[in-house]
Structure 1
């Protein structure tokens, strides 16, 4: 316990984790009183797996009708959301759904969250970007993630791409957190190594970044009585630390051997625990800079996070030395030299990233030196994440991080005494 904490913790209404747990969902939905739903997924799951048909048939046997929308796509756009809204409303023929289910990775879950807002009225999603009011409460949402990484099943935001300017927009509200988050490790068993790596490093980044982020007592909630993010607390740090431990143990194992059921299950727990941490604590510089890098390179979210992670950790050596030493211990680094411990931790994390096939420098992503100033400006524009970076001069820190990530060289730092 930390007496200075200001805890505002918002988990899913129900969290279910277990091999084969998806079979429980229709009976739970019936118990909750829902009778007409929309299942949001993509064509891979509707055409290449039995999961969609199994769910729809089992739900129908209990009197629950389901409209399937399988037009999900990576990095869903506001345009896709609006066209999906119109198509689903036509299929419903004037009937109003009472719940939305998502099956898939973070992209399908984001799209489904947005549809929870747009389906009741048919209004375009852009109208909700500035926030929700009591008059536009979303439909109840149920998430079944098929990757172990994004943590969207425990967070308050729907993230979409605005195709007009290729930037990400977010609809944020705690009412978008799922009524049910159901994690069935079997969904992840057939993930290819590249997806396993990308999702797994995303989970690890969520865990370690939220473990080190701004304290809840210092976090600017903007006067919001129900903030989506509110800084780290002893509660979020418990989840973050366990997620870090699980990633250190299972991420490489899962990448090396996708049939390792213990490792697959361990990464599912890691992803959920990381989400329970960052879903309330929030994130900072890794994601803030990675968003800019993704915009410039169109590389995946996990990859751009991974490239930035070791260099951001170096920058936190003074402000978060004790926590980094704790993480170093989790990674088996045992030295009494604080600077050496942090340095070895950053090296170990970079080696982990490299070992799962992800680049470790901006050069490897195709970024040139001349692009660094524009990347800096784009990263600084994500003020929500900038303000949560617990350093004294965030702009200067971002500049150093970008240069080190370009050069691929460790920084000179002094851990706190």
Structure 2
């Protein structure tokens, strides 16, 4: 029990999970009074799976009309969102749908979240970047097809601004889905590389939120309805369960995509991680990974994976007890805490390598000369940097980046006495 917690916890309004659960959706949508919907997906799901047509036909039998937009892409841009807004308005004759359904990975769900805002008045999505949503978004129903991003339980939509190739966020608790429906059968189509990327993303979400800044001291900027508010006993409970599931099922899922028990386990791991980080927030792994992705254009899961073991090592001085707990989850028993933590870092790195993901920055093609600029770019993501629970964030970031380049685990973290960044 953490009696000093200041809890602000915002899960989806409805969470439905189980193999075949998608069959429940048409009748539920009708029961809730929706009649004119938009389904956001991509060409793979609209043309190569039966799921879109099955839903549209069954929803029609329930009295719900559904327009399908299948222009989703990986890393959707603000331009795509604005173009889709115009296209959908034209196709619907100016009528605004009364709900939006997202079918796909995190990219499709992010696009759908943004459209929940832009479709009301046709305003460009840039007007919502960096601010509260302000106006009421359309109700969102999220059907994730990967086990990793957790977008079905989080308050933000991430888009790429093509004018400068940076990622921008639209953030508001009102963007959390009204219904998050997790059907493990959706993930059966995921190839091994997608399974690995998504699975490591889920593990990263769970570990980062388990170790992040406490809710009692988290900087909420006096926001009355913060999207992220630090770790608490609630978020840590979900994170711990997610980590246990990832330790048990991630490699199994990667090795055999037909292992339905492992697929279900990783779907649960992804949701539990999202319920944790969706309120607690993240920190250095994602902060540095964003900078690595900008330099290498590698996937989100891969860039997270490369940084994760080295960030863990940097927390030895401030999260020793929790790191030893994580070591036990991974089956590591050691009398000495430092030995247990070092073994944990190595075990996580071994897991990453076992699912075909590089384990150091050199393997991603990052030159040594790029490290200072990479570190500064990572520190510029201030909402993540300031949540990293170490005495000196700037020095810790520089040390982590250097270790990740050298592939160096186990050395004593750099001790610095300057104020944190």
**Same fold, TM-score > 0.5, yes or no:** yes
Tell me the distance in 2 between the aligned counterparts of 1:296 and 1:55.
40
Moved over 4 A (4+): none
**Structure 2 matches for 1:230-379, cutoff 5 A?**
230-379=229-378
How far the C-alpha of 1:169 sits from its partner, in A, is: 0.4
Asked whether the 8 Å contact 1:78–1:163 carries over to 2, the reply is yes
Alignment deviations for residues 246-302 of structure 1 (CA, whole Å, 9 cap, x no partner): 000000000001010000000000000000000000000000000000000000000
Tell me the distance in 2 between the aligned counterparts of 1:275 and 1:4.
23
Aligned: 1:109 with 2:118: no
Tell me the distance in 2 between the aligned counterparts of 1:199 and 1:61.
35
Query: Tell me, what secondary structure is at the counterpart of 2:189?
Result: coil
How far the C-alpha of 1:96 sits from its partner, in A, is: 1.7
Tell me the distance in 2 between the aligned counterparts of 1:333 and 1:367.
32
Tell me the distance in 2 between the aligned counterparts of 1:122 and 1:51.
29
Alignment deviations for residues 148-181 of structure 1 (CA, whole Å, 9 cap, x no partner): 0000000000100000000000000000000000
Aligned: 1:77 with 2:77: yes
Q: How many residues align?
A: 414
Asked whether the 8 Å contact 2:310–2:403 carries over to 1, the reply is yes
How far the C-alpha of 1:318 sits from its partner, in A, is: 1.2
Tell me the distance in 1 between the aligned counterparts of 2:198 and 2:160.
19
Asked whether the 8 Å contact 1:339–1:414 carries over to 2, the reply is no
Asked whether the 8 Å contact 1:404–1:411 carries over to 2, the reply is no
Asked whether the 8 Å contact 1:217–1:231 carries over to 2, the reply is yes
How far the C-alpha of 1:231 sits from its partner, in A, is: 0.2
Tell me the distance in 1 between the aligned counterparts of 2:400 and 2:211.
16
Q: What are the ranges of 5 or more consecutive residues in structure 1 without an aligned counterpart?
A: none
How far the C-alpha of 1:95 sits from its partner, in A, is: 1.6
Alignment deviations for residues 326-355 of structure 1 (CA, whole Å, 9 cap, x no partner): 110011101111110000000000000000
Aligned: 1:392 with 2:421: no
Asked whether the 8 Å contact 2:42–2:73 carries over to 1, the reply is yes
Calculate the TM-score normalised by the size of structure 1: 0.98
Alignment deviations for residues 222-252 of structure 1 (CA, whole Å, 9 cap, x no partner): 0001000000000000000000000000000
**Structure 2 matches for 1:401-412, cutoff 5 A?**
401-412=400-411
Which residue of 2 is the match for residue 137 of structure 1?
A: 136
Alignment deviations for residues 299-321 of structure 1 (CA, whole Å, 9 cap, x no partner): 00000000000000000011001
How far the C-alpha of 1:411 sits from its partner, in A, is: 4.2
Alignment deviations for residues 189-235 of structure 1 (CA, whole Å, 9 cap, x no partner): 12100000000000000000000000001100000010000000000
Tell me the distance in 1 between the aligned counterparts of 2:137 and 2:240.
32
Tell me the distance in 2 between the aligned counterparts of 1:359 and 1:88.
40
Query: Tell me, what secondary structure is at the counterpart of 1:189?
Result: helix
Asked whether the 8 Å contact 2:2–2:232 carries over to 1, the reply is yes
Tell me the distance in 2 between the aligned counterparts of 1:14 and 1:208.
25
Which residue of 2 is the match for residue 96 of structure 1?
A: 96
Query: Tell me, what secondary structure is at the counterpart of 2:63?
Result: coil
Tell me the distance in 1 between the aligned counterparts of 2:410 and 2:88.
52
Query: Tell me, what secondary structure is at the counterpart of 2:67?
Result: strand
RMSD: 0.9
Tell me the distance in 2 between the aligned counterparts of 1:102 and 1:158.
12
How far the C-alpha of 1:133 sits from its partner, in A, is: 5.2
Aligned: 1:40 with 2:40: yes
Which residue of 2 is the match for residue 183 of structure 1?
A: 182
Tell me the distance in 2 between the aligned counterparts of 1:51 and 1:224.
40
How far the C-alpha of 1:409 sits from its partner, in A, is: 1.2
How far the C-alpha of 1:137 sits from its partner, in A, is: 1.0
Tell me the distance in 2 between the aligned counterparts of 1:94 and 1:198.
39
Asked whether the 8 Å contact 1:46–1:52 carries over to 2, the reply is yes
Asked whether the 8 Å contact 1:73–1:107 carries over to 2, the reply is yes
How far the C-alpha of 1:132 sits from its partner, in A, is: 3.2
Which residue of 2 is the match for residue 213 of structure 1?
A: 212
Asked whether the 8 Å contact 1:254–1:260 carries over to 2, the reply is yes
Tell me the distance in 2 between the aligned counterparts of 1:166 and 1:190.
30
Calculate the TM-score normalised by the size of structure 2: 0.97
Alignment CA distance shift 1:391-1:147 (3 Å): same
Tell me the distance in 1 between the aligned counterparts of 2:243 and 2:409.
22
Asked whether the 8 Å contact 2:247–2:330 carries over to 1, the reply is yes
Aligned: 1:159 with 2:158: yes
Tell me the distance in 1 between the aligned counterparts of 2:141 and 2:283.
27
